[in-house]
């Protein structure tokens, strides 16, 4: 199958290209002109497509040759206008360029689209968890990922195109800076918020293989799956294991989740009293974002295994070791 991969130069995109090649697909790998790889570095089966999804251009001709798309591209940071351009406008242009014969669209969404206040005391978090009902209380990333996902769903339903929406947890692995469960560093101390709360981790290679599996498994029109690895360590456990693997970490200091929430409530009250509720708070003080990162929830991958026939290949121990090794070797 000829597969068009957006964001092919990114952390996840590079792994997707490798996984697609390993599965026997031909890859059209889209890179921004400023970060084009040298042609001689590309393996057989990969054609580099230069372009910026935020602008119409020659890349549209390459999309026209594709049989399927894996859409990894999105703006992960920046202010709202920046993320609207990099996520929403880019996706709008991509959808407009899709050929009528394109059989399948695999969309990389995010756990950020969910309402993290919705799960009850059981803490069960799965594909039935409601989406965020009030995006304006969340950050620009959540707002734009919700818009992006809604656009993709509407377009695929209108055309009858098969759609797989994959919502990965926190993607980790070699080539990406990681905090290893640490919320912040104070001197030589690593503050670990909600030390007993599970992390929703998925190794980048496991994530890429799931996305590629979504190209060919039988799907009934539209499928939505959450993607996490089998083993979900606590923040404390991840920090401990990374330190044992050689990560340059300080002494871990646990900060209970209730203490984090109490400080967040105090910051919220101060914002209401002195700034009319409009103060821009950092993640660790912002109540909705505190829930997203540190609330103790139970994450599952049953649906991903059932729908995609996927099994995470890289274990947590292997993933931590590879990540730490790559970080130590980087300049």
With residue 61 as reference, give the H or E element that holds it.
helix 59-63
Q: Give the domain extent around 95.
A: 2-175+200-231+298-314
190 located within any domain? no
13 located within any domain? yes
Q: What is the pLDDT of residues 109-144, one digit of tens each?
A: 999 999 998 877 678 899 999 999 999 889 999 999
Please count the structural domains in the chain.
Answer: 1
Q: How far from 262 is each of 54, 198, 225, CA to CA, in Å? A: 41, 20, 33
> What is the CB neighbour count within 10 angstroms for residue 127?
16
| Contact predicate 239/98, CB 8 Å | no
CATH code for position 61: 3.40.50.720
Q: What is the pLDDT of residues 266-289, one digit of tens each?
A: 988 988 888 887 778 888 888 888
32 located within any domain? yes
Print burial letters for 169-195: b (CB count within 10 Å at least 16), e (below 16). bebbbbbeebbbbbbeeeeeebbbbbb
130 located within any domain? yes
Dihedral angle over CA of 96, 100, 102, 103, nearest 10: 120
151 located within any domain? yes
Residue identified by tokens 């969404």 is: 109
Q: Residue 121: what pLDDT? A: 67
217 located within any domain? yes
289 located within any domain? no
92 located within any domain? yes
Q: What is the pLDDT of residues 192-222, one digit of tens each?
A: 999 999 999 999 999 999 999 999 999 989 9
> What is the CB neighbour count within 10 angstroms for residue 306?
10
């Amino acid at each position: 199958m000829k597969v068009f991969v957006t964001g092919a130069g990114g952390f996840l995109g590079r792994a997707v290209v490798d996984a697609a090649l390993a599965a026997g697909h031909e890859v059209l790998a889209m890179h921004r002109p400023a970060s084009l790889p040298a042609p001689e570095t590309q393996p057989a089966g990969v054609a580099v497509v230069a372009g910026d999804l935020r602008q119409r251009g020659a890349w549209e001709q390459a999309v026209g040759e594709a049989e399927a798309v894996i859409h990894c591209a999105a703006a992960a940071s920046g202010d709202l206008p920046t993320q609207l351009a990099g996520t929403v406008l880019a996706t709008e242009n991509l959808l407009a360029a899709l050929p009528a014969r394109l059989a399948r669209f695999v969309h990389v969404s995010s756990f950020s689209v969910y309402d993290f206040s919705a799960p009850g005391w059981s803490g069960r978090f799965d594909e039935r968890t409601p989406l965020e009902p009030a995006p304006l209380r969340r950050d620009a990333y959540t707002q734009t990922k919700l818009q992006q996902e809604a656009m993709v769903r509407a377009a695929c339903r209108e055309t009858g195109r098969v759609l797989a929406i994959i919502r990965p947890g926190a993607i980790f692995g070699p080539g990406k800076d990681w905090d290893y469960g640490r919320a912040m560093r104070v001197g030589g101390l690593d503050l670990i918020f909600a030390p007993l709360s599970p992390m929703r981790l998925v190794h980048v290679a496991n994530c890429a293989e799931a996305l590629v599996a979504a190209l060919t498994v039988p799907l009934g029109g539209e499928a939505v799956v959450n993607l996490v690895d089998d083993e979900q360590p606590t923040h404390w456990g991840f920090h401990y294991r990374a330190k044992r693997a050689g990560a340059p970490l300080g002494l871990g200091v646990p900060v209970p989740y209730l203490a984090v929430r109490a400080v967040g409530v105090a910051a919220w009250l101060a914002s209401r009293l002195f700034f009319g509720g409009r103060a821009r708070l950092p993640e660790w003080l912002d109540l909705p974002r505190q829930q997203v990162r540190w609330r103790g929830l139970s994450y599952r991958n049953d649906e991903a295994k059932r729908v995609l026939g996927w099994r995470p290949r890289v274990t947590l121990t292997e993933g931590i070791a590879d990540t730490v090794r790559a970080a130590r070797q980087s300049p």
